[in-house]
Amino acid sequence: MADKLVIVESPAKANTIKKFLGGSTKVMASMGHIRDLPKSKLGVDVEHNFEPEYINIRGKGDLIKSLKKEAKSAKKIYIATDPDREGEAIAWHLAYILKDEEKKICRVTFNEITKPAVNKAIKEPREIDMNTVDAQQARRVLDRIVGYKMSPVLWKKVKRGLSAGRVQSVAVKLIVDRETEIEQFVPEEYWNLYADLKDSKSKKEFHAKFYGKDGKKLEVHSQEEVDKILNDIDGAKYIIDEIKKGEKKRTPAPPFTTSTMQQEASRKLGFTLKKTMSVAQGLYEGVKIPEHGTVGLITYMRTDSTRISEVARAAAKTHIENTYGEKYYENRYYRTNKDAQDAHEAIRPTYIDIEPDSVKESLSKDQYKLYKLIYNRFIASQMSQAIYDTMQVNIKANNYDFKASGQTLKFKGFMVLYVEGTDSKEQEEDGTLPDLQEKQEVKLVKLEPKQSFTEPPARYTEASLVKTLEEKGIGRPSTYSPTITTILERRYIQKEQKQLVPTELGKIVNKLLTENFADVVNAEFTAQVESEFDEISEGKLQWKKMIEKFYGPFAIQIEKVEKELEHVELVDEVSDVQCEKCGRMMVYKFGRYGKFLACPGYPECKNAKPIIETIDVPCPKCGATVQVRKTKRGKKYFICENNPASCDYISWNKPKPGEEWNPEDMAEVETKPKAKKKTTTKKKATKRKTTKK
């Protein structure tokens, strides 16, 4: 019989904390949630104060029996689920399951799975925080109401099986709106004028860019304007008019929050949000390391705070001074976003002395990459600024101005270890200018005008979408990954390289929802809801009152939309493709993998075919039409329409007009499904052992 029973969510977490507790302590895993709303119905009694109808999750009966059995024999029960709203709710549901042992139940939390943190938590148990539980209940109930009430509208107007969600619909809208911006964007012409100049003393060349006239900035939009400037400065002397020297400092980025970790792992490691959170979960719950046993390498990975403990700060100081020297250390405090919950620390390594390279052999490749990123980011956040010497030069050519700038890295500071990534294509360049003097003449080597056109806004990537969701207050650290994963799985959006692009289905769903539920699927409403969840967790708002306030107008809108759609008959869009089997004109349908052509004579005629996308560039090998297809994983490739009959052209890269065929560009793409291997089962002869008496 165990004196203590500790319940956590996962077996990995259970294995890690077992070694910190005595032999009389039993550690069990609940395997996540133990109770939830039923999937088969709404599960919320809207007629009786929005009471949730929780049920035990199917398949967890044996686990619940085991938990009850161990709880009955234990003298004390500690529920040590994750230190966030979801973890608090799981703890509450566990307490309900074990209600017969209510007097023995305590709640414990720790931000890191280390011996001091776990033992401290066990010594300082508390009651379950019902304000935090209610904030999670409010989110769960509101999302269930929105999803289960709005989804049938999609079934009636688009197709069955589709679903709508409060946060996911806003994310889809952001991506669709961005795509609309790109499609409607009208490029504007502009010109830059570059001068290659030479210092006669050092013979060193440097670059300057046209700025304006008479000290005022001048934008150039046409060839005629460029020609006038070139004509006005033809034969002009280039005189150094003004030199400004200075110093620039660059500050390190703060330690990771969930959002910034997801963004940086996407930029630097190419990880999806889902992969980042999965790998981080493993690092938090524990990894087996020689001489250390099972160790939780990072603090809790769902956080929007940049705060760090004084113990971690002191450990970082010692490490930096011993590794790089005293001048590389600077004690830093970072301001946390005003909307952050700040319930626990930023994401950081739990043991500063366990450096990434020292445990590389014990980690998977992905674990090592992410641990190194987290480790270096945290250490760099406590290091000195990088310092640049800067020089800005204004050059006169008659009354026209050119500007040149240069910078030299004087002290690397934190950059000796880590530099934050960026979504921008523009990279900061280091460069030095010659030792120039004011009023000095420099020689013109070359003038180069360059025509450019303004570009549309970039499509979202997972990283930039998370950044936007966070800036707009949509969702919380725990919701970013599941939100984007869901809309990808439902094929409302798709990935093209790293960019998020709305599918035809996504555009149709977004149009329907924004036309009928504009108040629900907008960023302002979603951000306001998040603020109300925070108020509930702080005890300032009663959760059922919040749901009641939302539900009244929402129910009226649902009823109105359903009446409007009552007599709406779905009419499929007719294509210009004739069914080769029965002669009818085929119609567009939506399936699991997107749009396709189907015969309207179904079920008499079951003919269906994919919509073949083509490009306006002929096959580089035979001149036929090139088709665009996708692999099972959604990656695009380009293939000749005559492949494999008379042409074997196939490439990952889109062919360019006039491009010659290059056999090295050929892609290895599996275009046909593999034939199933014939399996034969052989009966193994079994010999019966006999023993001589």
Q: What angle do CA 342, 343, 349 make, to 5 degrees?
A: 90
Q: Is 190 a catalytic residue?
A: no
Residues of 218-228 as b/e, b for ≥16 C-beta within 10 angstroms?
eebeeeeebee
| Structure tokens, 587 | 């119609």
Report which secondary-structure segment, H or E, holds 144.
helix 130-157
Burial (CB count <10 Å: 0-12, 13-18, 19+), residue 40? exposed
Question: How many Cα atoms occupy the beta-carbon half-sphere of 534 within 13 Å?
Answer: 16
Distance linking the first and last C-alpha atoms of the chain: 46
Could you tell me the CA-to-CA distances from 167 to 465, 473, 504, 520, 553 in Å, in that order?
13, 11, 20, 9, 19
Q: CB–CB of 622/649 below 8 Å?
A: yes
The one catalytic residue in 78, 238, 284, 300 is: 300
595: which strand partners? 590
DSSP annotation string for 296-358: --B--S--------HHHHHHHHHHHHHHT-GGGB-----PPPTT----SPPB-BS-TTS-GGG
Q: CB–CB of 197/238 below 8 Å?
A: yes
Q: CB–CB of 394/241 below 8 Å?
A: yes
Here the contacts of 28-32 (C-beta below 8 Å, separation 24 or greater) are 28/66, 28/67, 28/70, 30/63, 30/67, 30/81, 30/90, 30/94, 31/60, 31/63, 32/90
Burial (CB count <10 Å: 0-12, 13-18, 19+), residue 65? exposed
Q: Is the peptide bond before 663 cis (omega within 30 degrees of 0)?
A: no
| Structure tokens, 248 | 């620039």
- Give catalytic residues, as residue numbers: 300
